[in-house]
Amino acid sequence: MCGSSKGRLLSSRLRVILGSLLFLPAAMAAYAPTAQPQSISTYHYDNLRTGWNPNETVLTPQNVPGLQLLASVSLDEQVDAQPLLVRGLTIAGGTHDVLYVATENNTVYALDAASGAHLLTRHLGRPVPLSALPGQCNNNSANVGITSTPVIDLTSSTIYVMVYTYANHVSSYLLHALDLATLQDKVTAKVVSASAELSNGNVYKFNPAASRQRSGLLEANGNIYAGFASFCDNKANLSRGWLLGWNARLLTPLAANQLDDQLATSDDNFFLSSIWMSGYGVAADSSGNLYFSTGNSDYSGTSYDTTYNLSESVVKISPDLTKVESYFTPSDSSFGVTILDQQDADTGSGGVLLFPDQPGFTAGLATAAGKAGEMYLLNRSNLGGYNSNGTNNVLGTYSIGGDCHCGESYFQGWDANGRVVSSGGNNIIVWQVQTSPAPALIQESMSPTLASGQDGGFFTSVSSNGTQNPIIWAVGHPYDNTANVTLYAFDPLAASRGSSSWLFSAVAGTWPNTQGNANIVPVLANGRVYVASYRQLAIFGLGSGAAAPLAAQFVQQSSPQIAQVASQDSAHLPPNGHEIFGTITTINGDLITVETRNGALVDVDATEAVESYQSVVLLVDEAVRMLGSYNASNVFQATVITRAKASLWPPDR
């Protein structure tokens, strides 16, 4: 049933697990510094998702404060995907280090990695407009096209891209395999489809109109894998989390797939158990097993099932997607699965980081964290399961500072010990990995607070020259009405020197779609740092040939861009319709009261939004955006209710 023989699991495609030319250690021996330029072919740099480039010989804590903007490249839409880098490629009549950037307009750019010059572009079809999304989900750009990070197979010179297209008022996903040098399809693009059997024997089919492909693509075992989620939890009666796979050479689907919620019914007809992870990629170990985390399900908290619905869980699954090998679901009194489901406190808002082999612990380690702000240290051979008595069977639980729309990074330190970098809340925390007398994480340093107007957490990357000169890089969320995003560099050794200041910070782009989290991953290689944001790619580096000051460029651009996004959205209001923002103060069934920004209280009838599955779970103190109109009694009749970023509400209209 697996669609590939055991021999294939040990095929040459497993070289992808060791990554691109940015190699991943099989053991914890110190790296020998190398001057070789690096390629970055997958999300967070490798299939363990470490986010670590250990071969950066140019950037050091001493010279990073002198970084300058070398180029600012215009793009056609927002970028949610991490850029990828291939060195020494023959393309467009020359040899270049090439940066591949994919936008929400379904455009793939091949750019010169040094100058940002356009080498090739390929547009892959009309993206799905905001108006066609369930409940006009605004946790994204006004267009949804390529959201997930593609993956590159360096051996075959192929980039795999998942596009979301809209033709004849129908939404579809297509998986493309493009030639790196031409951006032309190597084989016919595959339309995504799938089906699975529910607990009562009925067949459930993949629904592209209610499914969001957010998590980064994975290549392992000769296959391409993609996780699917929902749009703003809307149409939760139709949307369920999937992990699907295709043969990398032919794009034929695997014989089996993973449907996270297989229950035929729920108390409130609310399913999900999505795989989204704020864009973090599904991970793979050296045996080809896959790891991901899931989000909430039935908000009554009664539908969790260890056989049919692994909501709020970390999951390990076989390469052929036929068997859940292990799982962990929180069960403690503070953040048990029922509370997490009811509060929409997704374990799946963060990804799963796999550690390279650690001395003294051969079973393998992993970490995962979510909106509850707790990071779990896990044994990969037995993730911990679910204990109904309320005791979590994990190696350790650590507070990382609140809400985590984030994913950890990993690096090997100056003393040859491993480190985990967490980024929940608004701080970077560095944890040293201990394996004796028992596996544990020891907090070592903490960054100053990043300003943020969006949900907590952000994404990091790490550069070092072997075990020397480690630097942690981060891109913060927008936090004021300029909607700017900021690049930061932090020295994890600073605390030992009596300092905790940033090495570097600068505006790196803008993000006018402030209701959609800017889950930006900084990419650093060969002396340069790349930050893709809204219609822009910023290239930072050392040298005197810098462009104009970055802050001035983006501050000047942000206001018209925000106005443009607002004008794109305005057409989606019905006649006499309104869009208002506020915080829920009381709930009485489907009747709620919302306090607006000026302190006014609005009575809201949420019945239509709830009954049409166009509403999030209603919670007191939740910031929301509502579409609808006022009736003769001045009660707001809501047709759509989504979450909103409380400090970045756009004007009501």
Portion of the chain with pLDDT greater than 90, in percent: 76
Residue 551's Cβ-count burial label (10 Å; 0-12, 13-18, 19+) is middle
Query: Confidence class of residue 289 from pLDDT cuts 50, 70 and 90?
Result: very high
Question: Which CATH entry fits the domain spanning 578-648: 1.20.20.10, 3.30.43.10, 3.30.360.10, 2.40.50.140?
Answer: 2.40.50.140
Q: Which two tokens mark 262?
A: 């297989």
Residue 358 pLDDT more than 70? yes
Residues of the chain with CATH 2.140.10.10: 6-24+46-566
What is the pLDDT of the chain when averaged over all its residues? Answer: 89
The yes-or-no verdict on residue 553 having pLDDT over 60 is: no
Give the pLDDT band of residue 123 (cuts 50, 70, 90).
very high
Which band of pLDDT confidence, cut at 50, 70 and 90, is reported for residue 34? very low
User: If you average pLDDT over each of 17-26, 296-305, 634-643, which comes out highest?
Assistant: 634-643
What is the arithmetic mean of pLDDT over 468-491?
A: 93
132-136, 337-341, 471-475, 644-648: which is most confident: 471-475
Mean pLDDT across 348-373? 93
Say if residue 139's pLDDT is above 90.
no
Residues of the chain with CATH 2.40.50.140: 578-648
pLDDT at 28: 34
CB proximity list for 633: less than 8 A, separation 6 or greater: none
Q: What backbone torsions phi and psi does residue 32 show, to the nearest 5 degrees?
A: -85, 125
Q: What is the pLDDT of residue 576?
A: 79
Closest by CA position to 463, among listed 510, 504, 499: 504
pLDDT at position 552 over 60? no
* pLDDT of 544: 59
**pLDDT attached to residue 609:** 95
How many alpha carbons fall within 13 Å on the CB side of residue 616? Answer: 24
Per the model's pLDDT, the better-predicted residue between 229 and 10 turns out to be 229
The vertex-112 CA angle with 539 and 93, nearest 5°, equals 170
Split at pLDDT 50, 70, 90, the class of 304 is: very high
Q: How confident is the model at residue 216 (pLDDT cuts 50, 70, 90)?
A: very high
Sheet containing 374-379: order of strands: 352-354, 365-369, 374-379, 396-399
Residue found under tokens 């200041």: 501
pLDDT of residue 495: 66
Give the pLDDT band (50/70/90) at residue 20. very low
pLDDT at residue 188 tops 60:
yes
Give the pLDDT of residue 343: 84
CATH code for the structural domain at 6-24+46-566: 2.140.10.10
Only one residue has tokens 């709020």, namely 312
How many whole angstroms separate alpha carbon 189 and alpha carbon 5? 24
- Give the best-scoring range by mean pLDDT among 158-162, 401-405, 555-559: 158-162
- The pLDDT confidence band at residue 493, using thresholds 50, 70 and 90, is confident
